[in-house]
Amino acid sequence: MLETTNSVSVSGSLSGLTLSHRIYGEAFYTFWLTCARLSEKVDILPVTVSEHLLEQHPLADGAKVGVKGQLRSYNKLVDGRVRLYLTIFARELTDYEDSVNEIELKGFLCKPPVFRVTPFGREITDLLVAVNRAYNKSDYIPCIVWGRNARYASGLEVGDKVVMSGRVQSRDYEKKLETGEVVTRTAYEVSVAKIYKETE
């Protein structure tokens, strides 16, 4: 199914293009990509792109663009706590195609699955999958699995090698702080459409 362990293809409208950081003299920029779902909702996804790609494919706010690359994670210290952040790392900028949002992952389950049933009766399993990258690095990708697939995923074990496909989604949720204040935050995760355990 996969030639690579981490492959993302998304398409949408760009906003908020800003300089993020420099590594070894190369500048990297971030922007938000608003991707339409088949429903009327949208996903607003973070993208990281190198200055070299932007030189080849100049972009401005409001532009419609396709992005191909990988979903990557990194740890960021916020208010004294380490939080996991996700970004789509662009390897290629392409022409816009309507409603494109696809991801394929191959990785290892690094936490026990968490199975739950929503108040509306939907079965959901949360997974955290470690996806290997070059230079002995790994990306830790939160995934959410639904329905019949959720029941299957709930039986997986830490260390199992899984192959998945689906889409990248953004989801707002409310978090109560220690002060009692309730704030709205956004989670980024893979909504899994297909999943299976790969055996050697």
The sign of the torsion formed by the CA atoms of 152, 2, 90, 67 equals: negative
Mean pLDDT of 43-58: 93
Q: Structure tokens of 6? A: 């981490």
Q: Let me know whether 96 and 109 are in one domain.
A: no
DSSP secondary structure string, 36-71?
A: E-SSS-EEEEEEEEEHHHHHHS---TT-EEEEEEEE
**CA–CA dist 144, 105 (Å, integer):** 13
Q: Let me know whether 145 and 81 are in one domain.
A: no
Q: Let me know whether 21 and 65 are in one domain.
A: yes
Q: What share of the chain is helix, strand, coil (3-state, %, to 5)?
A: 5, 65, 25
Q: Let me know whether 74 and 61 are in one domain.
A: yes
We report the CATH number of the domain holding residue 49 as: 2.40.50.140
pLDDT of residue 4: 62
Among 100, 122, 140, where does a domain finish? 100
Q: Is 73 part of a structural domain of the chain?
A: yes
**CA–CA dist 160, 118 (Å, integer):** 26
How many domains are contained in the chain? 2
Q: Let me know whether 118 and 160 are in one domain.
A: yes
| Amino acid letter, 48 | T
Q: Is 177 part of a structural domain of the chain?
A: yes
- Global pTM value: 0.91
Lowest-confidence range among 25-29, 124-128, 141-145, 176-180? 176-180
Q: Is 1 part of a structural domain of the chain?
A: no
Q: What is the mean pLDDT of the chain?
A: 91
**The domain containing residue 117 runs over which residues?**
105-197
**Greater confidence, 128 or 3?**
128
Q: Let me know whether 91 and 25 are in one domain.
A: yes
Alpha carbons within 13 angstroms on the beta-carbon side of residue 73 total 21
Q: 132-152: per-residue pLDDT in tens?
A: 988 888 999 999 999 999 999
**CA–CA dist 82, 87 (Å, integer):** 16
Q: Let me know whether 79 and 117 are in one domain.
A: no
Among 39, 70, 100, where does a domain finish? 100
Among 100, 117, 148, where does a domain finish? 100
Q: 96-115: per-residue pLDDT in tens?
A: 988 899 999 999 999 999 99
Q: Structure tokens of 190? A: 């893979």
